[in-house]
Amino acid sequence: MQVIETDIPVVRRIVPKRFGDARGWFSETYRADVLAKAGIADVFIQDNQSFSAPQGTVRGLHFQRAPMAQAKLIRVLSGAILDVAVDLRRDSPTYGQHVAVRLDAEAGEQLYVPIGFGHGFCTLVPDTMVAYKVAGGVYSPEHDGALLWNDPALGIAWPVTEAEAQLSDKDRVAPRLAELSPPF
């Protein structure tokens, strides 16, 4: 398993090794000891899974405030996504900047998003299933927050237009970065 820094070093790409033969392949998708050596020592307490039927489904950008803030380890079980993490740490030199990584079931890469980031993704193909491990706090509606997915100030090159995006009501009306009191 390889752990690779992104443009925002605390956000990491995780590349599990696959062992293949005529039957298919096998891969360790999570190893606490390997991740801890790379500085990811979170205790994951919840697993989530989402299924998005249409291509162009956008989920996010979501976060939870303290004391229920969450770190996430995201992977795609079927299909493909553009996965995005936005730095929302008020004192960070990369505040408001983002990392965008293509994740798909075929390659098996994962993205680690630490506490302090908004997270979201857009499905690149129909029938996409995403799983992610959560560390920190369990889901808490009282601590739930969102950032407008297509806020121009973020500069995210989403693969869909606003008209094409399949959004929840919550994500459609989330505040822009300039309207958001820094949550971390």
> What residues are labeled active site?
62, 132
CA geometry: angle 14, 4, 119, nearest 5 deg: 60
Residue carrying the six token digits 């939870």: 64
Phi/psi for 95 (5° steps) reads -55, 130
Closest by CA position to 92, among listed 67, 66, 65, 117: 117
37: left (phi over 0), alpha (psi -120 to 50) or beta: alpha
Handedness of CA 70, 73, 77, 80 (dihedral sign): positive
Q: How far apart are CA 103 and CA 111, in angstroms?
A: 8
Please tell me the distance from the alpha carbon of residue 93 to that of residue 71, in angstroms, as a whole number.
Answer: 19
**Residue that the structure tokens 């989402």 belong to:** 50
